[in-house]
A and B are shown apart, each in its own frame.
Chain A
Amino acid sequence: MTATAEAPAEIGAVETFEVTLRVKRQNPEGNDAHGPGEEYWEEFQLTCLATDRVLDALHQIKWNVDGTLNFRRSCAHGVCGSDAMRINAKNRLACSTLLKDLNPARPITVEPIAGLPVLKDLIVDMEPFFASYREIMPFLMTTGPTPERERLQSPEDRERFDDTTKCILCAACTTACPVFWTDGQYFGPQAIVGAHRFIFDSRDEGQWERLEILNDRAGVWKCRTAFNCTEACPRGIEVTKAISEVKHALNTGEV
Protein backbone atom coordinates (compact mmCIF):
# COMPACT_ATOMS: atom_id res chain seq x y z
CA MET A 1 0.00 0.00 0.00
CA THR A 2 2.70 2.51 0.99
CA ALA A 3 4.56 1.85 -2.26
CA THR A 4 1.62 2.92 -4.39
CA ALA A 5 0.67 5.95 -2.31
CA GLU A 6 2.52 8.42 -4.51
CA ALA A 7 1.65 6.72 -7.79
CA PRO A 8 -1.09 8.14 -10.08
CA ALA A 9 -4.59 6.90 -9.34
CA GLU A 10 -5.11 3.28 -10.14
CA ILE A 11 -7.39 2.47 -13.01
CA GLY A 12 -10.81 1.77 -11.60
CA ALA A 13 -9.92 3.37 -8.25
CA VAL A 14 -12.77 5.20 -6.61
CA GLU A 15 -12.39 8.93 -6.04
CA THR A 16 -12.80 10.37 -2.56
CA PHE A 17 -14.10 13.71 -1.35
CA GLU A 18 -14.48 15.64 1.89
CA VAL A 19 -17.97 16.02 3.25
CA THR A 20 -19.56 17.60 6.32
CA LEU A 21 -22.44 15.80 7.95
CA ARG A 22 -24.64 17.88 10.29
CA VAL A 23 -26.50 15.40 12.46
CA LYS A 24 -29.34 16.31 14.81
CA ARG A 25 -28.75 14.56 18.08
CA GLN A 26 -30.57 13.94 21.33
CA ASN A 27 -29.65 11.80 24.29
CA PRO A 28 -32.38 11.07 26.85
CA GLU A 29 -29.73 10.62 29.55
CA GLY A 30 -27.69 13.65 28.55
CA ASN A 31 -23.91 13.82 28.23
CA ASP A 32 -21.06 16.12 29.31
CA ALA A 33 -22.12 19.00 27.09
CA HIS A 34 -25.86 18.51 26.75
CA GLY A 35 -28.73 17.99 29.16
CA PRO A 36 -31.10 15.00 29.09
CA GLY A 37 -33.37 15.14 26.04
CA GLU A 38 -31.77 18.32 24.70
CA GLU A 39 -31.65 18.49 20.91
CA TYR A 40 -28.45 19.75 19.31
CA TRP A 41 -26.61 19.66 16.00
CA GLU A 42 -23.22 18.05 15.67
CA GLU A 43 -20.94 18.34 12.64
CA PHE A 44 -18.66 15.59 11.43
CA GLN A 45 -15.92 16.06 8.81
CA LEU A 46 -15.47 12.89 6.82
CA THR A 47 -13.54 11.61 3.83
CA CYS A 48 -15.93 9.55 1.76
CA LEU A 49 -15.82 7.56 -1.43
CA ALA A 50 -17.67 8.87 -4.45
CA THR A 51 -19.78 5.71 -4.26
CA ASP A 52 -20.70 6.18 -0.58
CA ARG A 53 -24.26 6.55 0.59
CA VAL A 54 -25.44 8.57 3.61
CA LEU A 55 -25.60 5.26 5.50
CA ASP A 56 -21.89 4.64 4.82
CA ALA A 57 -21.09 8.08 6.21
CA LEU A 58 -23.15 7.33 9.33
CA HIS A 59 -21.31 4.01 9.70
CA GLN A 60 -18.00 5.81 9.40
CA ILE A 61 -19.03 8.10 12.27
CA LYS A 62 -20.36 5.29 14.42
CA TRP A 63 -17.43 2.93 13.82
CA ASN A 64 -14.50 5.35 13.67
CA VAL A 65 -15.46 8.69 15.22
CA ASP A 66 -18.27 8.57 17.77
CA GLY A 67 -19.72 5.23 18.84
CA THR A 68 -22.56 6.91 20.72
CA LEU A 69 -24.38 7.91 17.52
CA ASN A 70 -27.65 6.01 17.28
CA PHE A 71 -29.57 5.11 14.16
CA ARG A 72 -31.51 2.16 12.80
CA ARG A 73 -30.55 0.11 9.80
CA SER A 74 -30.79 -3.51 8.90
CA CYS A 75 -30.60 -4.62 5.27
CA ALA A 76 -28.63 -1.60 4.01
CA HIS A 77 -30.19 -2.14 0.57
CA GLY A 78 -33.54 -0.38 0.58
CA VAL A 79 -35.58 -3.45 1.42
CA CYS A 80 -36.30 -3.45 5.14
CA GLY A 81 -37.33 0.19 5.56
CA SER A 82 -35.58 0.78 8.87
CA ASP A 83 -33.39 3.77 8.00
CA ALA A 84 -35.81 6.44 6.82
CA MET A 85 -34.49 9.83 7.92
CA ARG A 86 -34.78 13.49 6.99
CA ILE A 87 -31.75 14.18 4.81
CA ASN A 88 -31.33 17.76 3.55
CA ALA A 89 -34.92 18.38 4.65
CA LYS A 90 -36.36 15.50 2.60
CA ASN A 91 -37.37 12.07 3.84
CA ARG A 92 -35.24 9.37 2.28
CA LEU A 93 -33.60 6.04 3.09
CA ALA A 94 -29.99 6.63 4.18
CA CYS A 95 -29.02 3.38 2.45
CA SER A 96 -30.46 4.49 -0.89
CA THR A 97 -29.14 8.05 -0.99
CA LEU A 98 -25.73 8.68 -2.56
CA LEU A 99 -23.70 11.48 -0.99
CA LYS A 100 -22.66 12.74 -4.41
CA ASP A 101 -26.31 13.33 -5.31
CA LEU A 102 -26.70 15.69 -2.35
CA ASN A 103 -24.22 18.44 -3.27
CA PRO A 104 -21.41 17.38 -0.88
CA ALA A 105 -19.85 20.86 -1.26
CA ARG A 106 -22.30 22.01 1.39
CA PRO A 107 -22.99 20.42 4.79
CA ILE A 108 -25.49 17.57 4.54
CA THR A 109 -28.10 17.65 7.29
CA VAL A 110 -29.44 14.44 8.79
CA GLU A 111 -32.40 14.53 11.18
CA PRO A 112 -34.85 11.99 12.56
CA ILE A 113 -38.14 11.73 10.62
CA ALA A 114 -40.64 14.31 11.90
CA GLY A 115 -43.87 13.86 13.83
CA LEU A 116 -42.90 10.82 15.90
CA PRO A 117 -41.30 11.04 19.37
CA VAL A 118 -37.50 10.94 19.19
CA LEU A 119 -36.02 8.25 21.45
CA LYS A 120 -32.34 8.93 20.79
CA ASP A 121 -30.44 10.66 17.97
CA LEU A 122 -31.99 9.41 14.70
CA ILE A 123 -34.21 6.78 16.33
CA VAL A 124 -37.90 7.60 16.71
CA ASP A 125 -40.68 5.71 18.45
CA MET A 126 -42.48 3.99 15.55
CA GLU A 127 -45.33 2.70 17.73
CA PRO A 128 -47.96 5.35 16.80
CA PHE A 129 -47.17 4.61 13.16
CA PHE A 130 -47.49 0.85 13.57
CA ALA A 131 -50.65 1.30 15.66
CA SER A 132 -52.34 2.99 12.69
CA TYR A 133 -51.20 0.19 10.40
CA ARG A 134 -52.59 -2.43 12.78
CA GLU A 135 -55.93 -0.63 12.92
CA ILE A 136 -56.61 -1.07 9.21
CA MET A 137 -56.21 -4.86 9.64
CA PRO A 138 -53.40 -5.58 7.17
CA PHE A 139 -54.15 -9.26 6.64
CA LEU A 140 -56.28 -11.24 4.19
CA MET A 141 -59.89 -11.49 5.37
CA THR A 142 -62.06 -14.15 3.76
CA THR A 143 -65.17 -16.20 4.43
CA GLY A 144 -65.95 -19.79 3.50
CA PRO A 145 -63.70 -22.82 3.60
CA THR A 146 -59.99 -22.39 3.04
CA PRO A 147 -59.12 -23.64 -0.44
CA GLU A 148 -56.74 -26.57 -0.91
CA ARG A 149 -54.40 -24.54 -3.08
CA GLU A 150 -53.38 -20.91 -3.69
CA ARG A 151 -56.10 -18.33 -4.18
CA LEU A 152 -55.57 -17.44 -7.81
CA GLN A 153 -56.37 -14.13 -9.45
CA SER A 154 -56.00 -12.72 -12.94
CA PRO A 155 -53.07 -10.48 -13.85
CA GLU A 156 -55.60 -7.62 -14.28
CA ASP A 157 -56.96 -8.15 -10.77
CA ARG A 158 -53.44 -8.17 -9.42
CA GLU A 159 -52.52 -5.03 -11.35
CA ARG A 160 -55.30 -3.16 -9.51
CA PHE A 161 -53.32 -3.02 -6.24
CA ASP A 162 -49.79 -3.82 -7.46
CA ASP A 163 -48.42 -0.39 -6.62
CA THR A 164 -49.37 -0.50 -2.94
CA THR A 165 -47.82 -3.96 -2.42
CA LYS A 166 -44.42 -2.29 -2.66
CA CYS A 167 -44.66 -0.60 0.74
CA ILE A 168 -41.81 -1.38 3.18
CA LEU A 169 -43.28 0.50 6.17
CA CYS A 170 -40.34 2.89 6.43
CA ALA A 171 -42.68 5.77 7.48
CA ALA A 172 -41.09 8.24 5.05
CA CYS A 173 -44.54 9.16 3.66
CA THR A 174 -46.42 9.49 6.95
CA THR A 175 -43.67 11.59 8.55
CA ALA A 176 -43.54 13.84 5.46
CA CYS A 177 -47.26 14.65 5.75
CA PRO A 178 -48.03 18.14 7.11
CA VAL A 179 -51.39 16.95 8.45
CA PHE A 180 -49.66 14.17 10.42
CA TRP A 181 -47.19 16.71 11.85
CA THR A 182 -49.97 18.85 13.30
CA ASP A 183 -52.44 16.10 14.17
CA GLY A 184 -50.82 12.84 15.25
CA GLN A 185 -54.29 11.25 15.38
CA TYR A 186 -54.41 11.13 11.57
CA PHE A 187 -53.89 7.58 10.29
CA GLY A 188 -51.33 8.91 7.84
CA PRO A 189 -50.59 7.96 4.23
CA GLN A 190 -48.91 4.63 5.03
CA ALA A 191 -51.95 3.16 6.81
CA ILE A 192 -54.08 4.16 3.82
CA VAL A 193 -51.59 2.55 1.41
CA GLY A 194 -51.65 -0.57 3.59
CA ALA A 195 -55.45 -0.63 3.49
CA HIS A 196 -55.50 0.04 -0.27
CA ARG A 197 -53.41 -3.10 -0.80
CA PHE A 198 -56.26 -5.22 0.63
CA ILE A 199 -59.30 -3.11 -0.30
CA PHE A 200 -58.54 -3.51 -4.00
CA ASP A 201 -57.43 -7.16 -3.79
CA SER A 202 -60.11 -9.30 -5.49
CA ARG A 203 -59.40 -12.17 -3.04
CA ASP A 204 -60.08 -10.10 0.08
CA GLU A 205 -63.54 -9.71 1.60
CA GLY A 206 -62.81 -7.24 4.38
CA GLN A 207 -62.78 -4.14 2.16
CA TRP A 208 -65.83 -2.50 3.72
CA GLU A 209 -64.56 -2.96 7.24
CA ARG A 210 -61.33 -1.24 6.25
CA LEU A 211 -63.15 1.50 4.33
CA GLU A 212 -65.36 2.09 7.36
CA ILE A 213 -62.26 2.51 9.54
CA LEU A 214 -60.78 5.01 7.09
CA ASN A 215 -64.06 6.94 6.98
CA ASP A 216 -63.21 8.04 10.52
CA ARG A 217 -62.59 11.68 11.32
CA ALA A 218 -58.90 10.78 11.63
CA GLY A 219 -59.10 8.90 8.32
CA VAL A 220 -58.78 9.67 4.59
CA TRP A 221 -60.75 12.92 4.77
CA LYS A 222 -57.88 14.52 6.68
CA CYS A 223 -55.76 14.27 3.52
CA ARG A 224 -55.28 17.69 1.84
CA THR A 225 -53.62 16.33 -1.28
CA ALA A 226 -50.24 17.87 -0.43
CA PHE A 227 -48.35 15.20 -2.40
CA ASN A 228 -45.50 15.20 0.18
CA CYS A 229 -46.06 11.46 0.65
CA THR A 230 -45.73 10.61 -3.03
CA GLU A 231 -42.55 12.67 -3.21
CA ALA A 232 -41.10 11.00 -0.10
CA CYS A 233 -41.79 7.35 -0.97
CA PRO A 234 -38.46 5.56 -1.62
CA ARG A 235 -40.36 2.82 -3.48
CA GLY A 236 -42.00 5.26 -5.86
CA ILE A 237 -45.52 4.34 -4.77
CA GLU A 238 -48.12 6.83 -6.01
CA VAL A 239 -49.36 7.38 -2.46
CA THR A 240 -51.64 10.35 -3.09
CA LYS A 241 -53.30 8.48 -5.95
CA ALA A 242 -53.93 5.48 -3.69
CA ILE A 243 -55.52 7.79 -1.10
CA SER A 244 -57.73 9.31 -3.80
CA GLU A 245 -58.86 5.84 -4.86
CA VAL A 246 -59.88 5.08 -1.29
CA LYS A 247 -61.84 8.38 -1.13
CA HIS A 248 -63.44 7.54 -4.45
CA ALA A 249 -64.49 4.09 -3.20
CA LEU A 250 -66.07 5.68 -0.11
CA ASN A 251 -67.88 8.30 -2.21
CA THR A 252 -69.22 5.96 -4.88
CA GLY A 253 -69.64 2.81 -2.80
CA GLU A 254 -67.77 0.92 -5.52
CA VAL A 255 -64.50 -0.89 -5.01
Chain B
Amino acid sequence: MQAPELKAPAFVRSGRSRTQVERWSWIFMRASGVILIVLIFTHLFINLLTGDGVNQIDFAFVAGKWASPLWKVWDLTMLVLAMIHGGNGMRLLINDYARTTWLRKTLKVALATSVTLIIVLGSLVIFTFDPCPEGTDPALLNIELCEDLGRL
Protein backbone atom coordinates (compact mmCIF):
# COMPACT_ATOMS: atom_id res chain seq x y z
CA MET B 1 0.00 0.00 0.00
CA GLN B 2 1.16 3.46 -0.76
CA ALA B 3 0.70 6.53 1.40
CA PRO B 4 -1.70 9.05 -0.16
CA GLU B 5 0.04 11.90 -1.91
CA LEU B 6 -0.34 15.14 0.02
CA LYS B 7 -1.75 18.08 -1.88
CA ALA B 8 -0.79 21.66 -1.13
CA PRO B 9 -3.35 23.02 1.34
CA ALA B 10 -6.22 24.86 -0.29
CA PHE B 11 -6.26 27.62 2.32
CA VAL B 12 -3.11 29.61 2.87
CA ARG B 13 -2.98 32.60 5.19
CA SER B 14 -2.16 35.78 3.31
CA GLY B 15 0.93 37.90 4.06
CA ARG B 16 2.79 36.96 7.22
CA SER B 17 3.88 39.84 9.37
CA ARG B 18 6.92 39.16 11.49
CA THR B 19 6.95 42.54 13.19
CA GLN B 20 6.12 43.32 16.79
CA VAL B 21 3.40 45.83 15.83
CA GLU B 22 0.44 43.81 17.06
CA ARG B 23 2.21 42.94 20.30
CA TRP B 24 2.92 46.59 21.08
CA SER B 25 -0.59 47.54 20.05
CA TRP B 26 -1.94 45.01 22.55
CA ILE B 27 0.32 46.30 25.34
CA PHE B 28 -0.55 49.91 24.49
CA MET B 29 -4.32 49.24 24.70
CA ARG B 30 -3.92 47.88 28.23
CA ALA B 31 -1.43 50.52 29.45
CA SER B 32 -3.44 53.41 28.00
CA GLY B 33 -6.63 51.84 29.35
CA VAL B 34 -5.26 51.89 32.91
CA ILE B 35 -4.10 55.51 32.58
CA LEU B 36 -7.43 56.51 30.97
CA ILE B 37 -9.36 55.13 33.97
CA VAL B 38 -7.49 57.56 36.26
CA LEU B 39 -7.69 60.49 33.82
CA ILE B 40 -11.35 60.07 32.85
CA PHE B 41 -12.77 59.31 36.29
CA THR B 42 -10.87 62.16 37.95
CA HIS B 43 -12.08 64.43 35.14
CA LEU B 44 -15.69 63.34 35.64
CA PHE B 45 -15.39 63.62 39.43
CA ILE B 46 -13.99 67.16 39.37
CA ASN B 47 -16.45 68.40 36.75
CA LEU B 48 -19.64 66.70 37.89
CA LEU B 49 -19.40 65.74 41.56
CA THR B 50 -17.60 68.68 43.15
CA GLY B 51 -18.99 72.22 43.49
CA ASP B 52 -22.31 72.76 41.70
CA GLY B 53 -21.98 69.64 39.57
CA VAL B 54 -23.09 69.78 35.96
CA ASN B 55 -24.66 73.25 36.38
CA GLN B 56 -21.28 74.83 37.01
CA ILE B 57 -19.90 73.96 33.59
CA ASP B 58 -19.73 77.02 31.38
CA PHE B 59 -17.10 79.18 29.69
CA ALA B 60 -16.01 80.70 32.99
CA PHE B 61 -15.56 77.26 34.58
CA VAL B 62 -13.38 76.04 31.74
CA ALA B 63 -11.37 79.27 31.83
CA GLY B 64 -10.80 78.78 35.57
CA LYS B 65 -9.62 75.22 35.10
CA TRP B 66 -7.29 75.99 32.21
CA ALA B 67 -5.66 78.79 34.19
CA SER B 68 -3.78 75.99 35.89
CA PRO B 69 -1.09 74.17 33.85
CA LEU B 70 -2.05 70.94 35.64
CA TRP B 71 -5.47 70.83 33.97
CA LYS B 72 -4.01 71.87 30.61
CA VAL B 73 -1.61 68.94 30.69
CA TRP B 74 -4.34 66.69 32.11
CA ASP B 75 -6.78 67.47 29.32
CA LEU B 76 -4.11 67.27 26.65
CA THR B 77 -2.99 63.83 27.86
CA MET B 78 -6.60 62.68 28.01
CA LEU B 79 -7.24 63.96 24.49
CA VAL B 80 -4.15 62.41 22.93
CA LEU B 81 -4.38 59.09 24.77
CA ALA B 82 -8.10 58.63 24.18
CA MET B 83 -7.75 59.47 20.50
CA ILE B 84 -4.82 57.13 19.92
CA HIS B 85 -6.44 54.41 22.05
CA GLY B 86 -9.81 54.80 20.31
CA GLY B 87 -8.11 55.14 16.91
CA ASN B 88 -6.08 51.99 17.43
CA GLY B 89 -9.21 50.19 18.64
CA MET B 90 -11.01 51.22 15.46
CA ARG B 91 -8.02 49.97 13.45
CA LEU B 92 -8.52 46.54 15.05
CA LEU B 93 -12.18 46.61 14.10
CA ILE B 94 -11.39 47.64 10.52
CA ASN B 95 -8.95 44.72 10.29
CA ASP B 96 -11.73 42.43 11.52
CA TYR B 97 -14.56 43.58 9.33
CA ALA B 98 -13.22 45.18 6.14
CA ARG B 99 -12.79 42.33 3.67
CA THR B 100 -11.23 44.05 0.68
CA THR B 101 -7.84 45.78 0.61
CA TRP B 102 -9.44 48.83 -0.96
CA LEU B 103 -12.00 49.21 1.82
CA ARG B 104 -9.40 48.59 4.53
CA LYS B 105 -7.02 51.21 3.10
CA THR B 106 -9.79 53.77 2.61
CA LEU B 107 -11.19 53.36 6.12
CA LYS B 108 -7.72 53.52 7.69
CA VAL B 109 -6.84 56.72 5.81
CA ALA B 110 -10.16 58.25 6.94
CA LEU B 111 -9.48 57.10 10.50
CA ALA B 112 -5.92 58.46 10.61
CA THR B 113 -7.10 61.76 9.15
CA SER B 114 -9.87 62.23 11.70
CA VAL B 115 -7.64 61.20 14.63
CA THR B 116 -4.94 63.67 13.54
CA LEU B 117 -7.48 66.44 12.90
CA ILE B 118 -9.12 66.06 16.31
CA ILE B 119 -5.78 65.92 18.16
CA VAL B 120 -4.53 69.03 16.32
CA LEU B 121 -7.77 71.00 16.82
CA GLY B 122 -8.06 69.93 20.47
CA SER B 123 -4.46 70.86 21.24
CA LEU B 124 -4.92 74.22 19.50
CA VAL B 125 -7.94 74.96 21.68
CA ILE B 126 -6.06 74.04 24.85
CA PHE B 127 -2.95 76.12 24.04
CA THR B 128 -4.44 79.13 22.29
CA PHE B 129 -7.37 79.47 24.67
CA ASP B 130 -8.15 83.08 25.60
CA PRO B 131 -10.02 83.23 28.92
CA CYS B 132 -11.00 86.89 28.50
CA PRO B 133 -11.82 87.70 24.83
CA GLU B 134 -12.27 91.40 24.05
CA GLY B 135 -15.82 92.72 23.95
CA THR B 136 -17.48 89.76 25.61
CA ASP B 137 -20.32 90.32 28.05
CA PRO B 138 -18.47 90.22 31.44
CA ALA B 139 -21.33 88.15 32.87
CA LEU B 140 -20.06 85.23 30.79
CA LEU B 141 -16.45 85.59 31.90
CA ASN B 142 -14.52 84.34 34.89
CA ILE B 143 -14.35 87.81 36.44
CA GLU B 144 -11.93 86.91 39.22
CA LEU B 145 -9.47 85.38 36.75
CA CYS B 146 -9.73 88.20 34.23
CA GLU B 147 -9.20 90.82 36.99
CA ASP B 148 -6.11 88.93 38.16
CA LEU B 149 -4.83 88.89 34.59
CA GLY B 150 -5.53 92.62 34.34
CA ARG B 151 -7.88 92.06 31.41
CA LEU B 152 -11.00 93.44 33.04
Q: Does A219 contact B (CB under 8 A)?
A: yes
Q: Does B95 contact A (CB under 8 A)?
A: yes
- The range of chain A's interface size is 20 to 34
How many A-B residue pairs have C-beta atoms within 8 angstroms? Tell me.
Answer: 46
CB of B27 within 8 A of CB of A131, answer no
- Chain A residues positioned under 8 Å from B18 (CB to CB): 212, 215-216
> Which secondary structure characterizes the binding site on chain A?
helix
Q: Does A179 contact B (CB under 8 A)?
A: yes
Per-residue A-contact encoding for B85-97, CB less than 8 Å = 1, 0 else: 0000000000111
Q: Does B101 contact A (CB under 8 A)?
A: no
Q: Does B124 contact A (CB under 8 A)?
A: no
Assembled-state Cα–Cα distance A189/B60 (Å): 53
CB of B96 within 8 A of CB of A217, answer no
- Chain A residues positioned under 8 Å from B11 (CB to CB): 127-128, 131
Per-residue A-contact encoding for B10-51, CB less than 8 Å = 1, 0 else: 111110111011110111000000000000000000000000
CB of A182 within 8 A of CB of B96, answer yes
Provide a sorted-by-A list of 26 A–B residue pairs whose CB atoms are within 8 angstroms.
A127-B9, A127-B10, A128-B11, A131-B10, A131-B11, A134-B9, A183-B95, A183-B96, A185-B13, A215-B18, A215-B22, A215-B23, A216-B13, A216-B16, A216-B17, A216-B18, A216-B22, A217-B17, A217-B21, A217-B22, A219-B22, A221-B25, A221-B26, A222-B22, A250-B23, A251-B23
